[in-house]
C-alpha cells in the first residue's frame, strides 16, 4: 500500500476526504507506477498531474519523497522503501506560484 | 412559471444565479469549483439541465465538468468510472490532442509568436463551450492555442475539426494579450452545416460543411495595428453575435471598431457611428429585435476600463451607427472595471433581459432591454463569462 498526498484542488476533484489516498501498486514502486495507479483509481485526475500524451509532469506540479525533490527523477527509478512500504507518503505538490 | 438561470464563470469559481420570470429577486448558488478559473459555462438549448463547464488551473490544467440537473451536481464526464483490470483510465474529458495524422489532420504547424517568430501549437485551455442546437450530447469547444474540437458523447472525449487549423494560414495567426484563443463559436440555426468562429488574433472563419473546411471571413476589417491593415488574416476579433432569425447578419466587436455583415461574413462594414470609443469586448443582440445591439465601450486597448470612469452600455436600435448610452442603475463615477468578451448575454423573456459581468465581480441585469439596470451580484471574483438560460 502506497500513500499519496494530494493538493487540495485534486482531492476535491477526486472527491476524497483527508490529505492522502492509499493505492495498491502493481510491481516495483516508481513514479510511473504510482501515477498509473493514481489515474486508474481516480480517472478524473488524468491530465492534471502529467500530460495525457507525453506523460510528462505538468510544469507547476512537483513530486517530493522523503523530504527530497523527485520532480526530475526518472519515472522508472525505484522509490525509497519507506514510500514503497507506506511508511512515508509520496507527495504531489502544486508549485508555489501566486494566484 | 418561467424563470431565468444565469451561469457565471469567474477567476475563482462558478456561480449560478436564479430568479423567476419577474427577475427582481435572485438566489446565488456557489461557488462551484472554488478556486479554479471557470472560463465558460453554457447550457444545452434542447436540455436546459445539461450544462457544460470549462474549469482550468495553471497548476493542474484543463477539466471539463458536466451537469445533468441544472448545475446542482457535477461530474467529469467518463471520469467517475473505475477502469477494469488491464484497461486504461477513462478520464479523457480533458484530453485535447491536436489532430496531426496524415489521413484526417495536418502535421502540427506553427503560429506566429508575440515577437514575430514561429511557435508550436500548445494546448492551454478551453475558452468557450457551444452545445449543439439539436443534441445535448454534442458540444463544441474553442481552445487556446486556437482550434475547434467536437464531442459527440457528452464531453467524454474530444476530436479536433482539423480543417480550421489546417487552413494554411496558421503561421500568420498570433496570440492576443490573453493568448491565441478561439473564443467565439456560433451555430447557424437555419443551416446545420454552417458555423462561425473567431480567433484572437487571426480573425473570423466560417464553415459551410459542418467543420470539414473553413474560409476566413475578414473582408472589410481594417486593423491599424497590423502591417497590412486589410490583410485576410491577423485581425483581433473580440466577439461576434448573431440573431437566430437573421443568421446571415453578424455583429462584431473588433479590438477597435464595431462591425456588421449582412452576407454571412463575406463582407463587413463599420457601424461604430457615434460611439464615444469603439474599443470593447462584448457584443450581443436583443432576443426579439434583430436590429437592437448592445456593446460596452472601453476607453482603449491600453486602459481596459470604461471612459471617464462611467460604466455605460450602448444600445443601437438601428443595427448600428446610431447608439444611445444606457446608464440608469450603472455606476457613473470612479468605475474602472472591464467587461470581458464572453461576459454578456440576453434572456428571451418579454421584455428582453440583458446581463453582463465585470472584472470587479459585479453582475448587472436589466429586465427591460437595457433601460434600467441593477446589480444581481456585487462581490464575486472577476467575471470571465456570463450565459443565460430562459426556463419555461
CA B381 to chain centre: 18
pLDDT digit string, tens, across residues B313-333: 999 999 999 999 999 999 999
Residue range A46-88, pLDDT digits in tens? 999 999 999 999 999 999 999 999 999 999 999 999 999 999 9
The Cα B207–Cα B196 span in angstroms is 7
Domains and CATH numbers, chain B: 37-80+91-350 (2.130.10.10)
Domains of chain A (ranges plus CATH)?
2-94 (3.10.20.30)
Phi first, then psi, for residue B171 (nearest 5°) are -60, -15
pLDDT tens by residue, B72-124: 999 999 876 665 655 555 678 999 999 988 777 666 678 999 988 999 999 99
Q: Report the C-alpha gap between B110 and B170 in whole angstroms.
A: 7
For residue A60, give the chain B residue with the closest CA: B59
Residues forming a β-bridge with B118: B112
DSSP, residue by residue, B50-107: -EEEEEEETTTEEEEEEESSTTSS-B-TT-SSPPPTTPPP---TT-------TTTS--
Rounded Cα gap, residues B34 and A11, in angstroms? 13
Instruction: Tell me the C-alpha distance between B314 and B365, whole Å.
Output: 14
Rounded Cα distance between B81 and B118, Å, is 41
A46 vs B57: CB contact, 8 Å cut-off? no
| Residue in A closest to B92 by C-alpha | A46
Grid look-up 457611428 returns B273
Mean predicted lDDT score pLDDT of chain B: 94
Burial pattern A37-69, b for ≥16 Cβ within 10 A else e, equals bbbbbbbbbbbbbbbbeeeebbebbbbbbeeee
- Nearest of B300, B267, B264 to residue B281 by alpha carbon: B300
Going from the C-alpha of B213 to that of each of B161, B191, B199, B278, the distances in angstroms are 9, 15, 16, 32
- pLDDT at position B289 over 70: yes
Number of C-beta neighbours around residue B274 at 10 A: 12
Residues of A in contact with B78 (CB under 8 A): 43
Give dist(CA B135, CA B139) in Å, integer. 8
Task: Write down the pLDDT at residue A96.
Answer: 77
**Arithmetic mean of pLDDT, B187-199:** 98
Given a contact cutoff of 8 angstroms between Cβ atoms, the answer to whether B291 and B299 are in contact is no
**Which of A40, A42, A52 is closest, CB to CB, to B97?**
A52
Give the gap in angstroms from C-alpha A16 to the nearest C-alpha of chain B. Answer: 12
Q: Smallest Cα–Cα separation from B330: which of B353, B304, B358, B350?
A: B358
Residues of chain B found within 8 Å of residue A52, distances taken between Cβ atoms: 92, 94-95, 97
Is the model's pLDDT at A99 over the cut of 60? no
CA angle B5, B60, B79 (to 5 degrees): 65
**pLDDT the model gives residue A87:** 97
Best of A6, A52, A98 to substitute, by most chain B Cβ atoms within 10 angstroms, is A52
Distance from CA of A47 to the nearest CA of B (A): 7
Whether residues A97 and B83 touch (CB distance < 8 A) is answered with no
Contact with chain B for residue A40, Cβ under 8 A: yes
Q: What is the 3-state secondary structure (H, E, C) of chain A?
A: CEEEECCHHHHHHHCCCCCEEEECCCCCCEHHHHHHHHHHHCHHHCCCCECCCCCCECCCEEEEECCEECCCCCCCCECCHHHHCCCCCEEEEECCCCC
Look at residues A27, A29, A26 and name the one whose alpha carbon lies nearest to residue A66: A29
Alpha-carbon distance B92 to nearest alpha carbon in chain A (angstroms): 7
Which of B36, B91, B95 lies at the smallest CB-CB distance from A44? Answer: B91
Min Cα distance B309 → chain A (Å) is 27
Q: Give CA–CA dist B308/B335, Å, rounded.
A: 8
Q: Which residues of B touch A (CB under 8 A)?
A: 35-36, 57-63, 76, 78-83, 89-92, 94-95, 97
- Pairing verdict, β A20-23 and B3-10: unpaired
Interface pTM, i.e. ipTM: 0.91
pLDDT digits (tens, 9 = 90+) for B208-243: 999 999 999 999 999 998 889 999 999 999 999 999
Distance, in Å, from the CA atom of B138 to the CA atom of B119, rounded to the nearest integer, reads: 31
B40 with B128: CB under 8 angstroms?
yes
Cell of B124: 492551454
Which of A47, A60, A96 to mutate to probe the B interface, most B CBs <10 Å?
A47
Return the pLDDT at B193. Answer: 98
User: Nearest-CA distance from B14 to chain A in Å?
Assistant: 15
A13-50 residue pLDDT tens? 999 999 899 999 989 999 999 999 999 999 999 999 99
Contacts of B359 (CB under 8 A, 6+ apart): B337, B338, B339, B340, B382, B383
Model confidence at B2, pLDDT cuts 50, 70, 90, reads confident
Residue keyed to cell 437573421: B246
Average pLDDT over every residue of B12-33? 97
Q: Are B205 and B163 in contact (CB under 8 A)?
A: no
C-alpha angle with apex B153: B149 to B156, nearest 5 degrees?
A: 75
What is the phi/psi pair of residue B277, to 5°? Answer: -155, 140
C-beta neighbour count of B307 within 10 angstroms:
16
pLDDT of residue B103: 75
Which helix (H) or strand (E) segment holds residue B26: the answer is none
Distance CA B274, CA B35 (A): 41
CA distance A12 to chain B (A): 8
Amino acid at each position: 500500500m502506497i500513500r499519496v498526498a494530494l493538493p487540495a484542488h485534486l482531492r476535491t476533484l477526486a472527491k476524497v476526504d483527508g490529505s492522502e489516498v492509499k493505492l495498491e501498486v502493481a510491481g516495483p514502486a516508481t513514479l510511473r507506477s504510482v501515477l498509473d495507479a493514481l489515474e486508474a483509481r481516480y480517472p478524473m485526475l488524468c491530465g492534471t498531474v502529467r500530460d495525457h500524451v507525453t506523460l510528462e509532469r505538468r510544469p507547476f506540479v512537483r513530486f517530493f519523497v522523503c523530504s527530497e525533490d523527485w520532480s526530475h527523477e526518472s519515472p522508472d527509478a525505484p522509490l525509497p522503501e519507506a514510500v514503497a512500504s507506506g511508511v512515508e507518503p509520496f507527495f504531489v505538490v502544486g508549485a508555489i506560484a501566486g494566484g | 412559471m418561467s424563470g431565468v438561470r444565469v451561469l457565471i464563470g469567474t477567476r475563482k469559481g462558478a456561480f449560478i444565479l436564479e430568479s423567476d420570470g419577474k427577475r427582481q429577486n435572485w438566489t446565488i448558488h456557489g461557488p462551484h469549483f472554488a478556486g479554479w478559473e471557470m472560463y465558460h459555462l453554457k447550457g444545452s438549448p434542447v436540455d436546459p439541465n445539461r450544462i457544460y463547464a470549462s474549469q482550468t488551473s495553471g497548476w493542474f490544467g484543463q477539466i471539463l465538468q458536466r451537469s445533468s440537473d441544472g448545475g446542482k451536481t457535477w461530474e467529469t464526464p467518463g471520469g467517475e468510472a473505475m477502469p477494469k483490470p488491464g484497461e486504461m483510465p477513462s478520464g479523457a474529458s480533458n484530453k485535447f490532442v491536436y489532430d496531426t495524422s496524415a489521413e484526417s489532420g495536418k502535421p502540427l504547424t506553427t503560429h506566429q509568436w508575440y515577437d514575430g517568430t514561429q511557435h508550436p501549437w500548445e494546448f492551454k485551455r478551453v475558452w468557450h463551450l457551444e452545445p449543439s442546437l439539436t443534441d445535448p450530447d454534442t458540444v463544441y469547444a474553442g481552445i487556446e492555442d486556437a482550434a475547434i474540437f467536437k464531442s459527440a458523447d457528452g464531453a467524454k472525449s474530444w476530436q479536433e475539426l482539423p480543417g480550421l487549423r489546417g487552413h494554411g494560414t496558421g503561421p500568420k495567426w498570433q496570440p492576443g494579450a490573453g493568448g491565441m484563443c478561439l473564443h467565439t463559436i456560433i451555430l447557424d440555426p437555419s443551416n446545420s452545416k454552417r458555423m462561425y468562429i473567431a480567433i484572437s488574433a487571426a480573425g473570423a472563419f466560417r464553415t459551410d460543411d459542418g467543420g470539414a473546411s473553413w474560409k476566413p471571413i475578414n473582408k472589410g476589417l481594417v486593423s491599424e495595428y497590423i502591417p497590412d491593415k486589410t490583410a485576410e488574416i491577423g485581425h483581433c476579433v473580440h466577439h461576434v453575435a448573431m440573431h437566430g432569425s437573421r443568421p446571415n447578419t453578424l455583429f462584431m466587436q473588433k479590438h477597435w471598431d464595431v462591425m456588421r455583415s449582412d452576407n454571412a461574413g463575406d463582407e463587413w462594414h463599420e457601424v461604430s457611428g457615434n460611439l464615444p470609443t469603439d474599443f470593447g469586448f462584448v457584443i450581443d443582440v436583443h432576443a426579439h429585435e434583430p436590429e437592437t445591439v448592445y456593446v460596452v465601450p472601453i476607453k482603449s486597448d491600453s486602459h481596459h476600463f470604461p471612459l471617464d470612469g462611467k460604466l455605460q452600455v450602448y444600445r443601437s436600435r438601428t443595427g448600428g451607427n446610431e447608439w444611445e448610452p444606457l446608464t440608469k442603475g450603472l455606476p457613473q463615477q470612479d468605475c474602472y472595471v472591464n467587461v470581458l468578451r464572453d461576459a454578456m448575454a440576453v434572456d428571451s423573456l418579454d421584455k428582453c433581459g440583458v446581463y453582463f459581468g465585470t472584472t470587479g465581480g459585479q453582475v448587472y441585469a436589466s429586465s427591460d432591454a437595457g433601460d434600467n439596470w441593477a446589480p444581481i451580484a456585487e462581490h464575486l471574483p472577476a467575471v470571465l463569462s456570463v450565459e443565460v438560460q430562459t426556463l419555461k
